[in-house]
Amino acid sequence: MIYALIGVFVALCVLITIGVTQPRGTSIMTWCSLYLAIAVVFDGLVVVAFAYQHVELIETLLGVSAGAATSLAIHVTHHIFEERKSTKISSGEK
C-alpha cells in the first residue's frame, strides 16, 4: 500500500511540475514531448513489472496510474470551468 501512495505522490509531483493544464516555462512542443516520454516510460515499466512479477513495482505503478488519472481529472475540470466562463461571457450572463 505504501508503494501505491508513493506512486500517486510521484505522479502528481511530476505532472504538476511540468504543468497539468498548461506548459510551465516550456514550449507546447516540449510539453507534449514530456507527456509522451512519461507515457512510454510508464508503459515500459508496466511490461517489466508484470513480466518479472515484481510486486513492489506493480504497486508503485498502480499508484502512478492513479496519480495520472487524478491529474487528468484536474486538467479536464480546468477546461470545463474555462468553457463555462466563455459561454457566460458570450451569452451576456454575469
Q: What pLDDT digit, counting tens, does each position of 15-24 carry?
A: 888 877 777 7
- Interval 25-65: pLDDT, tens: 888 888 889 888 988 998 999 999 999 999 999 999 999 99
Determine how many CB atoms are found less than 10 A away from the CB of residue 8: 19
The H-assigned helical ranges of the chain are 2-18, 28-51, 55-91
**pTM exceeding 0.85:** no
